[in-house]
Amino acid sequence: MVDKKGVTIAGNTPKGVFYGVQTLRKSLPVGAATVVRLPSVKISDSPRFVHRGMMLDCSRHFFPLEFVKRYIDLIAMHNMNVFHWHLSDDQGWRIEIKKYPELTTKGSRRSGTVIGYNTALDDSIPYGGYYTQEQAREIVEYARQRYVTVIPEIDMPGHMLAAVSNYSGVSCFNQTGWGTTFSSPVCPGKDSALEFCKNVYSEIIPLFPYKYIHLGADEVEKTNWKKCPDCQKRMKDNGLKTEEELQSWFVHNMEKFFNDNGKEMIGWDEILEGGLSPTATIMWWRTWSPNAVPDATAQGNHAIMTPNANFYFDYQQDKNSLSGVYNYNPMLESLNDAQKALILGMQANLWCEYIPSRERIQYMIMPRMMALAELAWSDPSVKSWD
Ligand code: ACM
Ligand code: ZN
């Protein structure tokens, strides 16, 4: 509240007061001023959604710890509360795993960075970087002080080239690389591969003291699985009829492991294919797969909205426009009230294949992040484009 006596910020919780401070901060003018006048106003509010997130892909490009902290500062300043940290992908493994040192000594390095959409063309400039476990703890603590939850993602069974190229017994065949659409995935037929995946997560889980772990599980090329005797045997032994069901089997197996360790699983919406477990949360990204959220919520699963046609901030602003973010309605027409109640919130994703610098990050996320923040926090009745 602002009145003649000054500014008063009160809340039911310290977190509420923290957000009041952020709102005051955003109300102040940019730059030097000797006198600041605020209009008399009383604001009384609370967030619309519990999940108000920003993802950062630190695999395709690596961002130093200091910049990750600045990204978290921006999240907090916009009354957002989730930092989704994409820590591994085909182009680089970015987190120390003590049991598997080559994930970082080799997997965090590459000989060059792709130029444009032709994956065969690269700049031939060696590139690398990773976070130690100690640094991950530092990020978690930094975020905690700002009421930001960190959700780590080690994407599997696809997008795992940086791992499967450096350890044997993790992929179907020794030779790994690019298939027709995506890279060689983990082999769900091999016990050694499952053990590898769980050992990795055994070191990730203690670093992030939160409810959710993100398994990824998007964009898996299943060509190898069709040819691999171990995968085919796994399918036969478990009565799985399709490779999609094998993917589900892998996801459920990992989810059970997370649950046994006190965590809940988030996965990209592909985890619906081949059967969704009752406790998984889907992160919907494929705008072209419009039934994902209706289907998942009809089964009682939670969903987080990150549709690529609105909330992919690595897309240019003429494609995913500011108004397209601001005017997005996460409460899809086809959902009933019970389904709507399962929408946890919204998030923007920043995939960094073509985002090499902090300046480019800032250019891509601002001002769209402001629109997302308001959408995720405010009741639609108080929205005003003007
Ligand atoms: C994704 O964009 N592959 C989740
Ligand atoms: Zn296999």
pLDDT tens-digit map of 341-355:
999 999 999 999 999
pLDDT score of 33: 82
353 lines ligand 1 (CB under 6 A): no
Q: What is the mean pLDDT of residues 259-283?
A: 95
**For residue 242, how far is its CA from the centre of ligand 1 (angstroms)?**
22
* E runs forming strands in the chain: 2-3, 6-7, 51-57, 82-89, 92-93, 109-110, 127-128, 149-154, 212-216, 264-268, 281-284, 303-305, 343-350
Question: What average pLDDT does the structure give for the chain?
Answer: 96
Kindly name the residue from 102, 218, 219, 221 that is annotated as catalytic. Answer: 219
**For residue 182, how far is its CA from the centre of ligand 1 (angstroms)?**
12
Query: Which ligand gives the minimal distance to the CA of 304?
Result: 1
| Ligand 1 atom 3: residue of nearest CA | 218
Q: What is the mean pLDDT of residues 154-158?
A: 98
The answer to whether residues 281 and 266 touch, using CB atoms and an 8 Å cutoff, is: yes
Element (H, E) at 333: none
pLDDT score of 320: 97
The pLDDT tens digits for 187-245 are 999 999 999 999 999 999 999 999 999 999 999 999 999 999 999 999 999 999 999 99
The pLDDT tens digits for 291-344 are 999 999 999 999 999 999 999 999 999 999 999 999 999 999 999 999 999 999
Testing ligand 1's pocket by substitution, the residue of 181, 218, 287 carrying the most ligand atoms inside 8 A of its CB is 218
pLDDT score of 64: 97
Long-range contacts of 165-169, Cβ-Cβ distance < 8 Å, separation of 24 or more? 165/106, 165/107, 166/100, 166/102, 166/103, 166/106, 166/107, 167/100, 167/102, 167/103, 167/196, 169/193, 169/196
Testing ligand 1's pocket by substitution, the residue of 285, 289, 305 carrying the most ligand atoms inside 8 A of its CB is 285
Alpha carbons 218 and 239: distance in angstroms, whole number: 23
The answer to whether residues 179 and 224 touch, using CB atoms and an 8 Å cutoff, is: yes
Query: Which ligand gives the minimal distance to the CA of 187?
Result: 2
**For residue 155, how far is its CA from the centre of ligand 1 (angstroms)?**
10
Q: How much of the chain exceeds pLDDT 70, in percent? A: 100
The pLDDT tens digits for 20-39 are 999 999 888 888 888 888 99
pLDDT score of 29: 86
Q: Locate the ligand 1 atom nearest the alpha carbon of residue 308 and give its number.
A: 2
Residue 119 has pLDDT above 80, yes or no: no
Query: Which ligand gives the minimal distance to the CA of 159?
Result: 1
**For residue 200, how far is its CA from the centre of ligand 2 (angstroms)?**
19
Q: Is 219 a catalytic residue?
A: yes
Q: Locate the ligand 1 atom nearest the alpha carbon of residue 312 and give its number.
A: 2
The pLDDT tens digits for 273-293 are 988 999 999 999 999 999 999
Q: Is 374 a catalytic residue?
A: no
pLDDT score of 335: 98
> pLDDT band at residue 120, thresholds of 50, 70 and 90?
confident
Kindly name the residue from 51, 61, 78, 89 that is annotated as catalytic. Answer: 89
Exposed, middle or buried: residue 318 (CB in 10 Å: 0-12, 13-18, 19+)? Answer: exposed
pLDDT score of 111: 95
85 lines ligand 1 (CB under 6 A): no
**For residue 286, how far is its CA from the centre of ligand 1 (angstroms)?**
8
